[in-house]
Amino acid sequence: MWKMMKAAAIGLLTFGLASTPGAARELSEILESGTVKIAVPENFPPFGALGAEGEHEGYDVDVANMIAEDLGVELELVPVASKQRIPFLETDRVDLVIATLGANPERAKSIWFSHAYAPFFSGAFAKADVDVTSITDFAGKKIAVTSGTLEDLAITKDAPEDAEIIRFGDNAATIAAYVSGQTDVIVTGNMVALGISNDNPEMGLETKFVIANSPSYIGVKTGNIDLLQWTNVFVLSKKLNGKLNELSEKWLGQPLPPLPAL
């Protein structure tokens, strides 16, 4: 009986060890292995997507390449969909997540976040000759917004009574209305505005003001303090030497705005 109980206990212990996810790779282990595994957006241009040559490119991909270069290791890109970002980090399929990851208290229960490395926001956009610097300047103007979005809720709450807010069913309809001249201002995300600018450069679309700011952070597995500290120093150095500003100009068509530090 004792031998049977002992064998069963050993079996359970072995199963438990085998089914437990491996520990996150420390900075020293990444350096020793010669490879860093980084999750990037699967299909979210201009941050990450397949380019014309069949290779991933974008703001986040360039940041991942700079990290590998500064670490002195090879880069293994792991394209991910939004819902895979945190699970891939928690299960040690990647060492870092650089995929337009916003920080909030709920996510912070699961992973750690670096200092912000990229801007991501919703705002009011219009041509240069449209005088708008705050929501109070919506008075007497026609404003295009997609119905039910966070942007819609924000401007509905605070816009002047004589602002004409025109709501559309989806982003495509909102964009079409603005581009065709039906409205004076479009309220949307900065990536949507960038797409409008790229498709219609003659419009000279400008960011008038930011409505909601949600910058992107690099995800690090909870407890991996050495890698988090290194990543924060990396982000700081790239802000100071202008490299992140170069990426912002290249991919987002704007100078890098001030970004928060955690």
Q: Residue 72: which CATH number?
A: 3.40.190.10
Please tell me the predicted confidence (pLDDT) of residue 23: 63
**46 and 32 in one domain?**
yes
Q: Are 152 and 145 in contact (CB under 8 A)?
A: yes
Residue 185 pLDDT class (50, 70, 90 cuts): very high
Which whole number is the average pLDDT over 58-83? 96
Please tell me the predicted confidence (pLDDT) of residue 178: 97
**33 and 63 in one domain?**
yes
Whether residue 18 lies inside any domain: the answer is no
Residue 10 pLDDT greater than 60, yes or no: no
**30 and 101 in one domain?**
yes
**142 and 170 in one domain?**
yes
**244 and 178 in one domain?**
no
Whether residue 206 lies inside any domain: the answer is yes
- Mean of all residue pLDDT scores within the chain: 89
**Positive or negative: CA dihedral 215, 219, 222, 227:** negative
Residue 6 pLDDT greater than 50, yes or no: no
**204 and 93 in one domain?**
no
**200 and 230 in one domain?**
no
Whether residue 6 lies inside any domain: the answer is no
More confident residue, 14 or 26: 26
Torsion on CA atoms 261, 235, 237, 34, rounded to nearest 10: 150
Angstrom distance (rounded) from CA 262 to CA 103: 10
pTM of the model: 0.73
Domain of residue 175, residue span:
121-213
Whether residue 2 lies inside any domain: the answer is no
**80 and 40 in one domain?**
yes
Residue 12 pLDDT greater than 80, yes or no: no
The token duo for 43 is 């299909």
User: In 3D, which of 40, 24, 36, 50 has the Cα closest to residue 78?
Assistant: 40
What is the domain count for the chain? 2
Angstrom distance (rounded) from CA 77 to CA 252: 21
Angstrom distance (rounded) from CA 65 to CA 241: 16
Whether residue 43 lies inside any domain: the answer is yes
Whether residue 112 lies inside any domain: the answer is yes
Whether residue 96 lies inside any domain: the answer is yes
